[in-house]
Amino acid sequence: MIEKIPPDTSKILMCPMPGLIVKIDVQVGEEVQEGQALCTVEAMKMENILRADRKAKVKKVNVKAGDSLAVDETIMEFE
């Protein structure tokens, strides 16, 4: 059986749960610091703030406020 290699997710922010993007807190080209708020996802009437786990530069934002996302959809990419 061929072993499936998981994709490298170190440079992307994925939606951890199905939900609605309430707010995007960063812009393309912005340097973010560890712990900085990146965006807010509303799920089951609760707002969840997704934060940077390390210092990085935002390469691309794939969503906008009001977008509905499924689990593991890419929210943004980093350099």
Range of the domain at 30: 12-78
Q: Identify whether 58 is part of a domain.
A: yes
Q: For the chain, what is the domain count?
A: 1
Tokens of 79: 């350099």
CA–CA distance from 13 to each of 1, 2, 52 (Å)?
30, 28, 9
Confidence tier at 10 by pLDDT (50, 70, 90): confident
d(CA 59, CA 26): 11
34 Cβ neighbours under 8 A, 6+ residues apart: 52, 53, 54, 55
Q: Is residue 22 domain-resident? A: yes
pLDDT of residue 18: 97
| 24: CATH | 2.40.50.100
- What would the pLDDT profile of 12-71 be if each residue is shown by its tens digit? 999 999 999 999 999 999 999 999 999 999 999 999 999 999 999 999 999 999 999 999
* 25, part of any domain: yes
Q: Specify if 3 maps to a domain.
A: no
With a CB cutoff of 8 Å and minimum separation 6, the contacts of 35 are 51, 52
Q: Is residue 21 part of a domain?
A: yes
Q: What is the pLDDT of residues 55-65, one digit of tens each?
A: 999 999 999 99
1 within domain boundaries: no
Query: Does residue 37 lie within any of the structural domains?
Result: yes
As separate numbers, helices (DSSP H) first and strands (DSSP E) second, the chain gives 0, 8
